[in-house]
Amino acid sequence: MGNRPEPLSFKDLKSYSLYERKSKVSLEKLGHPFQRGARFREFLESLPQELAARDLLEIAQAVVEARKAKRPFIFAFGAHVIKVGVSPFILSLMEKGIISALSTNGAAMVHDAELAMAGITSEDVAEALKDGSFGAARETGELLNEAARLGAEGPGLGRALGKLIAESDFPYKHLSLFGRAYELDLPITVHVALGTDIVHIHPSADGAAIGRASYIDFQIFSRLVSELEGGVFLLAGSTVILPEVFLKALSAVRNLGFKVEKFVTANFDFIRHYRPLTNVVHRPTLSGGKGYSITGHHEILIPLLYGALIELWEEEDAHL
Lowest mean pLDDT, pick from 112-121, 127-136, 226-235, 269-278:
127-136
- What is the per-residue pLDDT for 134? 80
- What is the per-residue pLDDT for 320? 47
> Which of 141 and 319 is assigned the larger pLDDT?
141
Indicate if the pLDDT at residue 110 is higher than 60. yes
Share above pLDDT 70 across residues of the chain, in percent, rounded to a whole number: 98
- Count of other CB atoms within 10 angstroms of residue 40: 13
- Mean pLDDT over each residue of the chain, to the nearest integer: 93
User: Which domains does the chain carry?
Assistant: 49-319 (3.40.50.10690)
**Distance of alpha carbon 99 from alpha carbon 76, whole angstroms:** 10
Tell me the pTM. Answer: 0.91
Indicate if the pLDDT at residue 49 is higher than 70. yes
Distance set, CA 207 to CA 108, 201, 266 (Å):
18, 10, 33
**Distance of alpha carbon 264 from alpha carbon 45, whole angstroms:** 23
24-40: average pLDDT: 85
**Distance of alpha carbon 46 from alpha carbon 65, whole angstroms:** 22
140-147: average pLDDT: 96
Residue 41 · residue 311 · CB < 8 Å = yes
**Distance of alpha carbon 142 from alpha carbon 144, whole angstroms:** 6
Q: How confident is the model at residue 177 (pLDDT cuts 50, 70, 90)?
A: very high
296-300: average pLDDT: 94
- What is the per-residue pLDDT for 76? 98
